[in-house]
Amino acid sequence: MRELLQKGHALCFSFAKIMKFFNVLMCECVNVLMCECAFFLVCMDFFCIFAHLKKVKSYTTMELVDMFSDVMIPARRKKTRMRYRVAVIGGGSWATAIVKILSANLEHIHWWVREDEIVEGISSYGHNPLFLSSVYINPKDVKISTDLRQVVAKSDYVVIVTPSAFLHKTLEPLKKSKLANKKIINAVKGIVPETMQVITEYLKTEFKVPASNLAIISGPSHAEEVAQEKFTFLTAASENEELAKIVAKFFTNRYVRASVSKDIKGAEMAVVLKNIYALGAGIYSGLGYGDNFIAAYIANCLKEMKRFVGSIYAWDDRHISDSVYLGDLLVTAYSIYSRNRMFGNMIGHGLSVRVARMEMNMIAEGYFSCRCIHEMNKEFKAEIPIVETIYGILYESNNVSSEMKRIAEHFV
């Protein structure tokens, strides 16, 4: 009998707990239902207002939705964006990724592209149909155009993202004075082949842009990963520290961190060299060399980079192990997204340089940079055997296998 009473007591206790749970659940449901009803009534009020607006003025459905969203989103969720006027020149993958970064931070972005197809894609659908088409760019946040003069005229800061091989031709329509008073941010990783100059030096001589108005944004940053919002580190470098800090603010958001440096010359030249070295890593990979060897190859590339950059631009505070130097070299040499590694890999697998270039649907900056560094070094006479070996393969039709094997014998 006692056992039966104990079971009954336990059953009653369990039933009481269940009833308490349902009581709490019902209270929550009522609260939610009341909130939903209140929200529904507010919505009905807004839709009544919208219906009236449609009679007074012919608003489109999307305009009404935008107005509704602007009112209903709490102010605390809206991030205050900076009011600098910034232009982006270029329509490729990196340019698209940069527009994505900047549009989170800036109110006024003017974007120049060459192709009408991109203008239509962004304006109508918010996507670049040719590059990084999965990235959404809000057309209300970015004014896109094929009119270079107009885009530059409406901006105080200009981010240049055109491949270096086409930069000279791209900027030809501009009068020399049009960039002189602008703050220029170089995001190009190459050398202008027509003048054999890095981008900032080219802008100084061709457009009379003072050094205090020049900056670069660089670092280990494949556009594909930025598009996926994977955590990325960048460096804003300028002789003008205040400008570098402003640029770092432009490029810092939830998934990108930008630091500041004054070594604009060293960082810009390191960016040029790493594309050449990544091309060499691709050649070795195509020839069948493994990760063990390529790691040693990259270590030797880093030493050559330090030697060459130091011979041209001496800088006591330069740390070659920083991400803007070593980090960018590593990601370009190893990543599956690297165009330069891909280009070199084709050559290592036996394709001729001409055929490999035809197979690439994007620009491998290392191909053009290699010739430029070779020509520049006639003046400086620095010891750069890796660059010279790759130059011989690309431009003098030297045997790929024997030349890469020869230079490997000197690695340590």
Catalytic residues: 274
Phi first, then psi: give them for residue 215, nearest 5 degrees. Answer: -145, 165
Segment holding 108, helix H or strand E: strand 106-112
SS3 111: strand
Q: Which residues contact 314 (CB under 8 A, 6 or more apart)?
A: none
Q: What residues does 145 pair with on adjacent strands?
A: 112
What are the DSSP E strand ranges found in 161-224? 183-186, 191-192, 197-198, 214-218
Distance CA 411, CA 214 (A): 37
Cα separation of 366 and 276, whole Å?
4
Could you give the maximum distance between any two Cα atoms of the chain, in Å?
107
State the Cα–Cα distance between residues 238 and 75, nearest whole angstrom.
Answer: 36
3-state secondary structure of 183: strand
At which residue do the structure tokens 């990601």 appear? 331
Cβ atoms of 257 and 283 closer than 8 Å: no
Scanning 73-184, the segments in alpha helix (DSSP H) are: 93-103, 116-125, 148-153, 164-171
